Amino acid sequence: MSKIKPSKGAPYARIMGVGGYRPTRVVPNEVILETIDSSDEWIRSRSGIATRHWASEEETVAAMSVEASGKAIADAGITPEQIGAVIVSTVSHFKQTPAIATEIAHLVGAGKPAAFDISAGCAGFGYGLTLAKGMVVEGSAEYVLVIGVERLSDLTDKEDRATAFLFGDGAGAVVVGPSKVPAIGPTVWGSEGDKSETIKQTVAWDEFHAERPEKFPAITQEGQAVFRWAVFEMAKVAQQALDAAGIAPEDLDVFIPHQANMRIIDSMVKTLKLPENVTVARDVETTGNTSAASIPLAMERLLATGKAKSGDTALVIGFGAGLVYAATVVTLP
């Protein structure tokens, strides 16, 4: 018989607060066209993107995260000292160690929480949300700060016609805490490693160090392959998440997919047969693809603009490099 005492966590977990930060510089398609042979019409028709935000030197991964986190903590109605864990999803923090989560935890005044980074690309927010839910229910932390943050402008090849227009910078954060009722559904997640070459970094850090190519490593992707995978396979994953939560499409209030591409979003809505009354996040038009930050940023904007409201039932799904994915149904804070 085990002598270890059982953990005393909450019966359930929920998102209590949300915050976002977009860099001050707005970059229209005209700027992108200075380095690629394309047109504003082509970019809009292929991606739905009109503008994106690029960070300044001062708007670091940590600085943007702190801004978004402060808003999320205030929105949750708790103090920074109550944060028991900080989870940061990012692929654009360039230090292998230490994790940027430790610096962010210190800067927001969280005391001495558990703090770590995860790398799951555009699905990273979903991964972090699932880990946070487990911590709250298990009892290792009462409140968990989950951050998705990217400075993808640092990893964008400005001369690559296939990707130069896609990526933006920003940070989104949520606070996950205890709930008496289910408010974060089961997560459907996974990976398809046989397709890992479809979205990748062009040069590994060790190769860059050894060979010193002229161009800094950037993100590249096979656009058509990613589009087909996202539209057809991720719609299935989204449906599985609805089924796992016991939610029918007509019961949804909001759909917040990863903001990869407007055509992907519209195709998923059609494939899932979502009713017209379901609010769909289309933040990509003015924010671009911010990878791990895209879902919390889109969530924050929907709530701030009144297009979604507290208590709404939302389906969130992220998908990206790896290829990895995560989908769940949540109650909005």
The mean-pLDDT minimum among 4-8, 66-70, 318-322 falls in 4-8
β strands within the chain, DSSP E:
12-21, 25-28, 51-54, 83-89, 114-118, 143-151, 169-179, 188-191, 199-201, 219-221, 254-257, 279-280, 313-320, 324-331
Q: Write the pLDDT tens digit of every residue in 131-149.
A: 999 999 999 999 999 999 9
What is the pLDDT, as a whole number, of residue 51? Answer: 98
What gap in Å lies between CA 136 and CA 142, rounded to an integer? 5
Helices (H), 108-173: 124-138
Name, in order, each residue with C-beta under 8 angstroms of 142's C-beta and a sequence gap of 6 or more. Answer: 10, 82, 84, 136, 177, 178
pLDDT at 213 over 80: no
Q: Write the pLDDT tens digit of every residue in 290-304.
A: 999 999 999 999 999
Mean pLDDT over residues 30-40, rounded? 97
Q: Mean pLDDT score of the chain, rounded to an integer?
A: 95
In the set 29, 53, 261, 289, the catalytic residue is 289
What is the pLDDT, as a whole number, of residue 214? Answer: 66
What is the pLDDT, as a whole number, of residue 8? Answer: 84
In the set 29, 93, 258, 261, the catalytic residue is 258
Mean pLDDT over residues 58-87, rounded? 98
Residue 31's pLDDT band (boundaries 50, 70, 90)? very high
Check if 106 is active-site: no
What gap in Å lies between CA 138 and CA 142, rounded to an integer? 9
Q: Write the pLDDT tens digit of every residue in 179-210.
A: 999 999 999 999 999 999 998 888 887 887 77
What gap in Å lies between CA 202 and CA 208, rounded to an integer? 10
Q: Write the pLDDT tens digit of every residue in 230-271.
A: 988 999 999 999 999 999 999 999 999 999 999 999 999 999
Check if 209 is active-site: no
What is the pLDDT, as a whole number, of residue 212? Answer: 67
Check if 93 is active-site: no
| pTM as predicted | 0.91
Mean pLDDT over residues 42-49, rounded? 96
In the set 93, 122, 209, 261, the catalytic residue is 122
